[in-house]
Amino acid sequence: MIKSSGEKRRIFEVGAEALRSKLKSGPTTLDDYFNLLADIERTQADAYDSWSTGLEEQRNEIHGSMDSLSTQLSEAEAGARGVIEEMALVRARIDEANDRYIDGRISMALLKDRRGRLKRRIDSLKVEIDRMRRGETLTTPRPRPS
């Protein structure tokens, strides 16, 4: 657009310079002035049309870019929503695994406690059995030699 505008300006300046030359060279006719004004108007109209067309093309390109970016944004938002949903599922699985781990640790602690109590009970029973056996051997009559 700038290049086109510069060219239109150059044409306008050439026309203006031609008019100055004619004015310096001597008397000119009214038709010359009208022709020059028509050239100036044509140059201005061409410049306006060129700028208008260029701006319209830029506007269309920008709208196309905006549409494309809007589509990309929608896709990115959908992807982000999917990632957020997946993260929520992973968080739920982590919480569930953590709960199972805690339950397992509690069960293990209870089993260790129970095992300890059973071991103490077994030891106690072994001591009692040993004591009973000693008492049994003490109270049992010994056979006499004949």
Q: What is the per-residue pLDDT for 31? A: 78
Amino acid identity for residue 142 in this structure: R
Q: What is the per-residue pLDDT for 49? A: 80
Q: From residue 61, how far is each of 58, 67, 131 by CA, in Å?
A: 5, 10, 103
- Using only C-alpha atoms, what is the Rg of the chain? 53
Cα–Cα distance for residue pair 119/95, rounded to 1 Å: 36
The two three-digit tokens of residue 8, written as one number: 């239109």
Amino acid identity for residue 119 in this structure: K
**C-alpha 67: how far from its chain's center?**
19
Structure confidence at residue 137 as a pLDDT band (50, 70, 90) = low
Among the listed residues 28, 9, 10, the one whose alpha carbon sits nearest the alpha carbon of residue 19: 28
Q: What digits encode the pLDDT tens for the residues 46-84? A: 777 877 887 888 889 999 999 999 999 999 999 999 999
Question: Residue ranges per domain, the chain?
Answer: 2-136
33's enclosing H/E stretch is helix 30-139
Q: What digits encode the pLDDT tens for the residues 14-24? A: 777 776 776 67
* 3-class DSSP state of 142: coil
